[in-house]
Structures are given as structure tokens and as C-alpha cells.
A and B are shown apart, each in its own frame.
Chain A
Amino acid sequence: MESTVTVEPVSVSIENLYKSFGEQKVLRGVSFDVKPGEIFALMGPSGSGKSVLMRHLVALEQADEGEVLIGGEPADDPGTQGNIRTAMVFQAGALFNSMTVYDNLALYPREHRLYSETVIWEKVTSVMRALSIEGAGRKIPAELSGGMKKRVSVARAIIMEPQLILYDEPTSELDPILAATTTELIATIARETGATSLVVTHDRNLALSIADRMALLMDGKLVFRGTPDDLRNNNDPQVLEFMNPTIDPLNPRFRKQENDV
């Protein structure tokens, strides 16, 4: 992608993070580090606390206990938010529905007065071309398909020239081909910009194919940390259950759901 700009990547450090919502304990002492420039995949089943953890990195949640550091600085410090550019690709896109795709992409540089309108136009069109969404500039997000929305969302993140990119379930709701394309896109962006990437996903193929390191979160606790090869060779029953789920129609859980209906 000729449009991308190389940035100085930052590290991420999460120390003993606890978070509850009322009585529900979502994160229970989670710790891990992400090295500058690496692609780190945080995996786990639905409801395991992955997205809540990610929201701490952009100060959308406050920790009950523990530390979240980006580049060695607290993530919720306004100074950190001002100095370190962190972009997030939301699961559902979170595109601004009242704006065109072009305005969505131009919003960050416009609001922060980074460039003139001509330069913004050049950067936006260049990123749109790189992500094959050049025809969508005048459309509003509601007119786009799921895959297009995802790409626009990624494009909006790239425009920010971030040092840290957070992806929240980037392949959810995508067909296998689009999921593979998105996976390749994440790897390409990380390689070409040098930005640190943290990918939250339950897509095993995505995580195993592009992550430098990964962790598995279950019920608010990390049950695995290591490389994709370490994960493949791990014999922990919880890891095995997540990696190789079996469908058993005689399972009591299945019968219980039938009775509920």
C-alpha cells in the first residue's frame, strides 16, 4: 500500500487488570505485554472479556484495579491520548452514519487540523484506492455492505497514522473469503506502517496465521500466552476445548436449550 506512512510503534503493558460490572467479574487479574511493532492476538470465546479489556486501552473503561500502559504511560491519561495515536477498528464499524464515507475518513485530520484540505483529499483518496473502496466516497455507511464497512473502518484507522491499532473482532460477520482478505489486510498494514497491532478475536485462523504472539482469555483470566506454535502444541484442556470444539447433540447443554424452547 503506497499510501501508508511509517510510524514509531509503541508497547502495551497490562498489569493485573481487574474489572467488574456490578456483581459480574469480567476481568480477573489479567497481565500481558505487547512489544512495539508486533501483532498480538487476544483470543477467547464470546463473553470472555476481550472487548472490555480492549476498551481500557482507549480509556473507554476505567480499571477497578491494575494498570494499563501504552508506551509506558497510563492509557487513561489525557497526555497519553494526546501524544500517542491509537486507532480502533470497532466490531460493527462505528462509522458516522450522518456523514459520507469520504467525510468519515477525513474527520480525524480535519478535526486535528493536521493538513490542508488538498492534502487530506490526497491522503484519503490514496487510502481508499489502497483498500479498494475508491467508489464509495460519496456513499453513506448505510449504503455499504458488511465487508465494505469493515474496510472503511480500517481505512479510517489508517488515516490516523496510528502507532497502535486495535482491532475488535475484525472478521466477525464476514464470509470466509472476506475474512481472509481482512486478515491479510491487517498483516499488510502492520508490516508496512510498523504500527503495533492488538487483535481481539475468536477467529482461530486469523490469530494463528498473522499473530507474532497470542493469549487466550477465558472467564476473565488468561489461560495461555505464547506464540502460535506454542498454542498448537498446548495440551491444557481449556485451550484444547477452545481450539477444537466438538459438537455433541447428546450434550446436556444442548438438551437444556431444547427444553427452554
Chain B
Amino acid sequence: MKALLELFEWIGSGVQMALKTMSYIPSLPRQWKRLLEQCLFMGYATVPLVAILSFFIGAVLALQIGYSIMDFGAKQYIGTIIGLSMVRELSPVMTAIMVTGRVGSAVTAELASMKVYQEVDALRTMNIPPERFLVLPRLAAIVLVIPVLLIVSVVTGWIGGQVVCEYVDWIDLSSDLYYNSLKSFIKIDDLTDGLIKAELFGVGILLISSHLGLRTSGGPREIGAAVTRAVVVCIIFVLIFDYFITNILI
């Protein structure tokens, strides 16, 4: 019962923080420098990882699909399957997991450290709301960076699949056939669905990470515990929320 009450309290204060952050959106143009800093940090930290990971996801997917459908003589559909899988499911989810590991953990660590060393208290005494100064620029940055990450992930995933299809002997599917089948089945709606998913994941990850960081109390040891908690909670959030949002979007 106590754990349940704590969970509701945690969700309630998280929603409160999110609403408070949103209420400061009009102040965003004044914070363009901080926004730019955060965009650069998030992009710089995440783009290479997302690209490498997505390339190999596309490659492995090509191997698995090639192996599975070879006997049916349907290898010309590998491009379609990889294309749709990447754009609708794997890229949004894998991007979210990369963002959790690279951005979410960093946000929690930074805010938790600021909380433990009283920097957040100092902001409050200066009548500067942490939601405006710390959370909003990060939230806006993730909203701007997520589409870039998603496109990088989708394109490198497709390329990974194409490389395997063309150069693995037992698949031997030309690039033209691969991309033609990919293009003929993928619609703009697939891309927008993937984008909606990724944006929702990104916003959720950022809010959870910030909330856990700002709620940290105690000594420096708690910073590490908060980061671990943030990564676990964000990954659980992404995987559970993915089911429901997919159900709605399909």
C-alpha cells in the first residue's frame, strides 16, 4: 500500500513538473543559447551511436529475413520488410534506448548532482525556477534532435540491410531491387507514425530523467543510484508505452 502511494506521489509530482515546464514555453526564445548547447550535446553524443547501432540492426535483420524467406523465393521483399521494420518500430525504439543511455542518464546525473550540491536550491532562492532554467531547454532540445536521430537511424538501418543483401553470397540481392521494393511499400504515414512514436519516447525519457534528477536527495552516492533508476525506468517506459502507442497508430 505504501509503495503504491509512493508511486502515485511520484507520478503526481512528475506531472506537476511537466506542466510547470510547459507553462514556461513562452520564455524559450530567451533561452536560445542554452537550447543550442543542449541540441549540440544531445546530437554530438547520440548521432554516431545511433548510426552504428542502426547499421548493424539493419544488417542483422537482412541476414535473419534472408535466411527465413529464402526457401519461399521471396527475397525481393527483404527491402520492404527491413524498410517497414526500421521506420515503424526498430528505429524509434532503438533511438529511444540510445537516448536513454546517452542523454537521459547524463541529464539525471547533472540534475541530481546540482540537487545534492544545493545548486537547485540556489536557483530557487534566486527566484529562478529550475523547471524553466534546467528542464525546458533540455526538453525543447530533445524535441528538435529526435527527428534527426530517427532519420539517421532509419537511413543507416536501410543501408546496413542493403550492404548485407548485396554482398552476402547466399542472399545476393541487388541494390536496385532492394530499394525498389523498399520504396514501393513505404508510405509517408509510416514515417510520421515512427516520428510520433520517437517524439513521445523522447519527451517521456527527458521528463522522467529530469524528474528523477531533481528529486534526488542525500549524498553523492545517491547520484549514481538516481542514474541507474532513470535508465531502468526509461527503458521500461519505452517498451511498455511502445505497445500502447503502436496499437493506437496501427
A109-123 contacts to B, CB under 8 A, are 111-112
- Chain A residue numbers with a CB within 8 Å of B183 are none
Q: Which residues of A contact B128 (CB under 8 A)?
A: 107-108, 111-112
B127 interface residue per 8 A CB criterion: yes
Asked if A87 is an interface residue, CB under 8 A from chain B, the answer is yes
Q: Report the bound CA distance from A241 to B113 in whole Å.
A: 38
**Shortest Cβ distance from B208 into chain A, in angstroms?**
22
User: Which one, B14-22, B92-100, B114-122, B239-247, is touching chain A?
Assistant: B114-122
Say yes or no: B117 contacts A97, CB within 8 Å.
Answer: yes
How many residues of A are in contact with the other chain, CB < 8 A? 21
Q: Which residue of A lies closest to B133 (CB)?
A: A111
A82-135 contacts to B (CB < 8 Å):
82, 86-88, 90, 92, 94-98, 107-108, 111-112
Within 8 A of A (CB), among B100-136: 110, 113-114, 117-119, 121-122, 124-128, 133
Chain B interface extent, by class: 10 to 19
Q: Which residue of the partner chain B has the closest CB to A90?
A: B118
22 example contacts (A-B, Cβ-Cβ < 8 A) are as follows A58-B121, A58-B125, A60-B121, A60-B124, A82-B127, A87-B125, A87-B126, A88-B121, A88-B122, A88-B125, A90-B118, A90-B122, A92-B117, A92-B118, A94-B118, A94-B121, A95-B122, A96-B122, A97-B113, A107-B126, A108-B128, A112-B128
Q: Which residues of B contact A (CB under 8 A)?
A: 110, 113-114, 117-119, 121-122, 124-128, 133
| Chain A residues with a Cβ under 8 A of chain B | 55, 58-60, 81-82, 86-88, 90, 92, 94-98, 107-108, 111-112, 160
